[in-house]
Amino acid sequence: MNCATFRKQFSVFQDNRLSSDQMNDMALHLQSCADCRKFTEASEAVWELLTILPKPKLPPFFYTRLKARMEADHQAKPLSWIQRAVLSAMVTAVLTLGIILGSMAGRFSRAAKSENDLFYGLPLEEINVLSESAYASDYFEFFSQEGGAE
């Protein structure tokens, strides 16, 4: 066994997870090699230090809150300033288009009303005072005209 192999297998050796032959080879190398003994001592000292160090106390529900935050971040990443600029430009464009279409529709319906296209010469306010039969005869007249035009 050489030093490179020893150090590569070192942590598995310390966990006693090598085969018995490999464990023996490692132990033999450790006895014969001063460098690897120093390496072993140093690494054991580090592990000891790690066990001595106090564990930081976490606030209550740390992992629950961390997990929730990670999931929220995953679902909705904060927008970059470019994305926000593009988004606000798109919203402005949609709103502007809506206003333009709305005013066009308003102008169209006012035009239709004034030209008596929709209500056969009857302003909207007067529909309520019409008798049912008068309304029905207007309807009939309208459809018979349409049918005759074809």
Q: Which chain residues interact with Zn ion by CB under 5 A?
A: 3, 33, 35-36
Alpha carbon distance 21, 31 (integer Å)? 16
Per the CB < 8 A criterion, the answer to whether 13 and 26 are in contact is: yes
CB of 36 to Zn ion, least distance (A): 3
Q: Which is nearer to Zn ion, 38 or 65 (CB)?
A: 38
Q: Which is nearer to Zn ion, 25 or 138 (CB)?
A: 25
- Single-letter amino acid, residue 53: L
Closest CA to 113 of 105, 122, 104: 122
DSSP-assigned letter for residue 119: T
CA distances from 133 to 19, 68, 140 (A): 104, 67, 10
CB of 19 to Zn ion, least distance (A): 20
Q: Which is nearer to Zn ion, 8 or 65 (CB)?
A: 8
CB of 3 to Zn ion, least distance (A): 3
Q: Which is nearer to Zn ion, 2 or 92 (CB)?
A: 2
CB of 44 to Zn ion, least distance (A): 16
